[in-house]
Amino acid sequence: MVVIGAGRIGVGLQREAAARGLSVRLIDRVFGWDALDAPAGSPVLVVVRNDDLAAVVQRVPAARRDDLVFVQNGAIGDLLGSLGVGESTRGLLYFLVARRGDGITPGRTSWFSGRHGAAVAAWLGTLGLVAEDVDGPTFAAHAFEKLLWLSTNGLLCQARGATVGEVATAHRAELAALVTELMPIGARARGVGMSPAAMAERLADYSATIPDYRASVKEWPTRNGWLVKTARLLGIGTPLHDALIASVGAP
């Protein structure tokens, strides 16, 4: 597997693969780019920050851009479209690497969709990580769920000085209220049909797998900022979300 990005996730995947006798060709800011000279047709996992995506895509040979698999969080569809890779394979990673060099803490099923979705899901399976390949609409629903988890926990962790585990327990009512307020965005913009109560339960269940993680408000344009912008476009009121944003001084 070729992986672009030598941060927490990239190094974590390389370590897990090496422990099983598997090879990962890691590309960082300087080294390893010759790995992309190989013929097209095999996946290239992109695990860089959202802010680095434009620079990475520009460095990838045109013949290999269809092989890119983007696993960044948030509503990145418009960004990928503007970079000419809007039809590329997408993924949602549900595991944690707390610090660069740490091992991987499994969470729940990771989701993929696109031409290389099945191949990447199978590869992660060889590392002991559960992953599945799904169709586009199913992936869109999972992507909105992950967006909600990041955005609600980022706000509540920062506003209440809590971990995600504490948000899921001590601040559960506030989490549920925030999810209820934001779910109409998913219903109208992404066709998500899950009830707010069921969604809040799923978010809390995931937090229970990594209870000590402390989220924060970041990557504004593709997380909370996207929710704000889309709510305004759809005429959906989000007073609790707005108040929490103001309380933490975001963006």
The pair of three-digit structure tokens given for residue 198, joined into one six-digit string: 């069921």
Which helix (H) or strand (E) covers residue 55, if one does?
helix 53-59
The 10s digit of each residue's pLDDT in 206-243 is 999 889 999 999 999 999 999 999 999 999 999 999 99
Closest listed residue to residue 190, CA positions, set 156, 154, 230: 230
Arithmetic mean of pLDDT, 140-157: 97
The 10s digit of each residue's pLDDT in 72-116 is 999 999 999 999 999 999 999 999 898 888 889 888 999 999 999
Number of Cβ within 10 Å of residue 197's Cβ equals: 12
Least confident of 35-44, 91-100, 125-134, 193-202: 91-100
Number of Cβ within 10 Å of residue 185's Cβ equals: 23
Which letter does DSSP use for residue 210 in this model?
Answer: S
Nearest-angstrom CA–CA distance, 107 and 150 = 14
Amino acid letter, 205: D
Nearest-angstrom CA–CA distance, 159 and 178 = 13
Nearest-angstrom CA–CA distance, 112 and 127 = 16
**Which pLDDT belongs to residue 102?**
86
Nearest-angstrom CA–CA distance, 243 and 85 = 36
* Domains identified in the chain and CATH numbers: 2-134 (3.40.50.720), 137-248 (1.10.1040.10)
Peptide bond into 251 cis (omega under 30): yes
Q: Residues 185, 244: contact at Cβ < 8 Å?
A: no
Q: How many alpha carbons lie under 13 Å from residue 88 in its C-beta half-sphere?
A: 33
**Which pLDDT belongs to residue 251?**
85
> How high does pLDDT run on average in the chain?
96
DSSP for 112-178?
Answer: EESTTHHHHHHHHHHTT--EEE--HHHHHHHHHHHHHHHHHHHHHHHHHT--HHHHHHTTHHHHHHH
